[in-house]
Amino acid sequence: SGRTRNAGPRYVNGILGQVDRGAIAARKFRVVLDCGNGASAVTSPSLLHGLSVRYTTLNGNVDGTFPGHLSEPTEANLVDLVRTVPAVGADFGVAHDGDADRAVFVDENGRYVPGERMLALLARDAVRSAGGGLVVTPVTSSLAVEEVIRPLGGKILYTRVGSPVVSRAMAESKAIFGGEENGGCLFPAHQLARDGAMTLAKVLELLAREKRALSEVLAELPPYVLVKRKVPCPLALRDVVISELTEELTREAGADTQVLTLDGVKVQNPRGWYLIRPSGTEPLYRIFAEAKGSKEAEALADTALARLRSALARHGA
């Protein structure tokens, strides 16, 4: 149908209508765009063209075998992007995943930016622009998000992991912004779904307004470090082990420690937090740990790992 045939241009025009095109064009940005041979190859170049952004494209043809690199935009998979950004003097680099609902960034110096840092930056920008409002994010997100929005009148609502959960909570609570630490952000004025191209446009608008480099704006955020690990687990033991761990950790918790059970079990104290949760898609547990410093974050991850392995060992796993 005509609607389907014009879906790409209509989608891009929808994003263009959500940002200050003049301010972005005036900055004369240069960007390196890694489409990862995915769906963004047919939309993100048009978006950048519509914003008068000069760009260099990597892996810009759609190919479901993903010949350029694996479709997950991790630091290990984005070595070409990291190398190209400083080589061409770009303001930043951006990579999309296969279905283009996420955007991951590399700063002007070729440094990979963890998703939780961009989430905090965009949450702060959304709350500041709206003069307050609610931000929705899963329990895996960095404390930096809450820390940067509260002074601006922002509030936070934590959910279970998963973009459909975040989207539903945003609709019910009339949130102004939502997102996950994996590069998936939701802008409800555009649509209540993760959108990589919309995220790219919002980062361009933010930098146009700030008139500073991405690394400089990121340097203002609290220096949290988030560590992620995973541990295989038989499906039959997933729930019983989490139940036992929750009981133990709750019993042992001191006065300065909170044990939260919204999704898995999360232990939080003034030094940081760790979370142990079963994966919703694979037979394994995911561990997240965060503190202000990599040594402290790694130590918390080690603690979580030791507790989990001890609980699994009791069941012969």
**pLDDT attached to residue 5:** 73
Q: How far apart are the first and last CA of the chain?
A: 54
* pLDDT tens profile 54-90: 999 999 999 999 999 999 999 999 999 999 999 999 9
Query: Helix 294-313 to helix 238-252 angle, to the nearest 10 degrees?
Result: 120
Is 0.85 surpassed by the pTM of this model?
yes
pLDDT in tens, 133-147: 999 999 999 999 999
pLDDT at residue 272 in the model: 96
Residue 252 to residue 223: CA distance in whole angstroms = 29
Contact call for residues 36 and 95 (beta carbons, < 8 A): yes
The arithmetic mean of pLDDT across residues 270-275, rounded, is 96
Q: Where are the domains of the chain?
A: 2-112, 225-313
The model's confidence at residue 261, banded by pLDDT at 50, 70 and 90, is very high
Q: With a cut of 90, say whether residue 92 has pLDDT above it.
A: yes
Query: Which CATH number describes the domain made up of 225-313?
Result: 3.30.310.50
181-239 residue pLDDT tens: 999 999 999 999 999 999 999 999 999 999 999 999 999 999 999 999 999 998 888 88
Q: What pLDDT is stored for residue 128 in this prediction?
A: 97
Percent of the chain with pLDDT strictly greater than 70:
99
* pLDDT tens profile 282-294: 899 999 999 999 9
The vertex-38 CA angle with 33 and 21, nearest 5°, equals 45
Give the pLDDT confidence of 23-57 residue by residue, as tens digits. Answer: 999 999 999 999 999 999 999 999 999 999 999 99
Asked if CATH classification 3.40.120.10 holds for the domain at 2-112, the reply, yes or no, is yes
Burial of 223-246, coded b for 16+ CB within 10 Å and e otherwise, reads ebbbbbbebebeeebbeebbeebb
Higher-confidence position of 4 and 198: 198
What's the mean pLDDT in 98-121? 97
For all residues of the chain together, what is the average pLDDT?
96
Residue partners of 59: CB distance under 8 A and separation at least 6: 34, 35, 36, 37, 41, 67, 68, 69
